[in-house]
Amino acid sequence: MWTKTQQLAFDIMLGLRKGLKLVRGMRRSLSEEEQRRVSSKIAEHLELANWKIERGPPSQGAGQLYRPPDD
């Protein structure tokens, strides 16, 4: 089981990868290990800065299937 900080770091890493795709050549300039270290440091800093972050339920676009509401 992951800690909240580890979950946050993982989500930051995914966001970092998406952001790096926007800058030509940047995604390949950081190895997976470097991305992991950067995201961990960001998550640690947010905790030290006393941010309160909670994970909510997955949004519709995050792997959850859409079910139309019952009539």
Q: What are the boundaries of each domain within the chain?
A: 4-48
Mean pLDDT of 17-41: 81
Q: Taking the CB of residue 16, how many other CB atoms lie within 10 A of it?
A: 19
**Distance, CA of 9 to CA of 15 (rounded, Å):** 10
Tokens describing residue 33: 């290990």
Q: How confident is the model at residue 27 (pLDDT cuts 50, 70, 90)?
A: low
For the entire predicted model, the pTM comes to: 0.63
Mean pLDDT of 49-61: 78
In this prediction, residue 70 carries a pLDDT of 54
Tokens 């339920």 belong to residue? 57
